Every structure is written in C-alpha cells, then in structure tokens.
Amino acid sequence: MTKLRAVFAIACTFLLASCLPVTSKTPVGTTVGLGADKALVGTWTGRSEDQPGNGQKDKGTLYLHFLPEKSQDTPALVVVWVFTGSAKNNGEVDLYELRTAKLGDNNFIDVLKLGDIDHGLHADDSKDNGLNGGSVPVLYKFGKHHTLTLYMLDEDKVKAAIAKGEIAGTVEPGDYGDVQLTNDAKTLDAFMARPEAAKLFKVFLVLRKTE
C-alpha cells in the first residue's frame, strides 16, 4: 500500500480498491494556466471514517490547512493534512502541493506532490513525487454555509471511459492495478471542460471552513 493510499483511506474507504487514486500524466488545466485559488486558503474541517485492519469503523476529525506557497514562481498551494486520530487509530500529518484551474464550469485541483513533515515535498518531474510521476485530478465545488466538496475520479467509471475510447489512459492488470489518464494537455482539457466530465467523479470529502 502506498503512503498516498494509506493517508486517503483515513478519509474515504472507496480508495482502498486501488494502490493509488486515478492519476493523470498531464495536470488538468495546463492549457489555461495553473494557479492557486485564493478561495481555498484557510482551514477546512470534517469528520471521516477509517476502516482499520480489524474491519471496525473508527471516526476521527480531519483538518485541511490550505496555505499559499510563496516560494514558487507559479502560484501554488500547500495543504497540511491533519487527522487527529482516536483511541483505535493514530493521527496522521502529511503535505501536498497543488495548483488549481477552471475549465468551463468545472473547478479542478491538481495534486502535484506528496510529502510529509519530516522529509518535505518531493521533487518535481520525478516518480519520487509519490504519484508515479503524475498528478491527481480533484474536482471541487463550494457550497452554502462555507462548505467545500472534493470529488475524486471514480476508478470504475474511468476504466469504462477508457475502454470506450472516450478518454485515453492506461490500466494496469490485476484488481489493484493503477489507472492513469494519458491524453495530451489540449485533448485532456477539452474533455474536462465538458459538463459530462464531472460524471466521472464521485464525492471524496465534504468539509466546512473554520471561522
């Protein structure tokens, strides 16, 4: 199990079906320019369910701290992911670097790097970024009462779309094989700008901004 899978499993058990979430060889939104949505900056919190090895459900509090990354030439955000843990599960602290883009009516986060507090974020343009050299596309929507919903690509729906030729990608063999989108930037962005692209995503987390 990769570290990314282990961390994301704390928040949503549907990721237990694969070693990584669906990744993309090219970040979504590169043709329009990647940036850092200031509306995300701040602390967001929610409750999550973990399913430890004994199969018993355990709840904990999750905090996502979105911070501006000022050291980058291109605007970016760093997310500090904090899971408080509980009596049955240890806490977790991890780092992500991401950039955002808007295509049509769809808002996307590209998770570009994975790291941790002890070792920082991994280098660009390397499989050592923790994501097999790709990025993780996340659809996001703001809702009423200061809520934020994050959507991850549904692996089964993506596999079906690849099989139908609706989008290009690779599917590794086996039940735990990784799935990656492989379209060039122009083709990928044209697809993701369409309203139906959102149908390939499913709810990952629902968070509320702290005051």
Residue 169 or 95, more confident: 169
Largest interatomic CA distance in the chain: 48
pLDDT for the residue numbered 83: 85
Whole domain around residue 49: which residue ranges? Answer: 3-209
The count of domains in the chain is 1
Would the pTM of this model clear 0.85, i.e. be above it?
no
For the four alpha carbons of 206, 98, 120 and 146, in that order, the dihedral sign comes to: negative
Query: Two tokens at 96?
Result: 């992500």
pLDDT for the residue numbered 6: 41
pLDDT for the residue numbered 69: 86
Q: What is the mean pLDDT of the chain?
A: 82
Cβ–Cβ < 8 Å for 111, 142: no
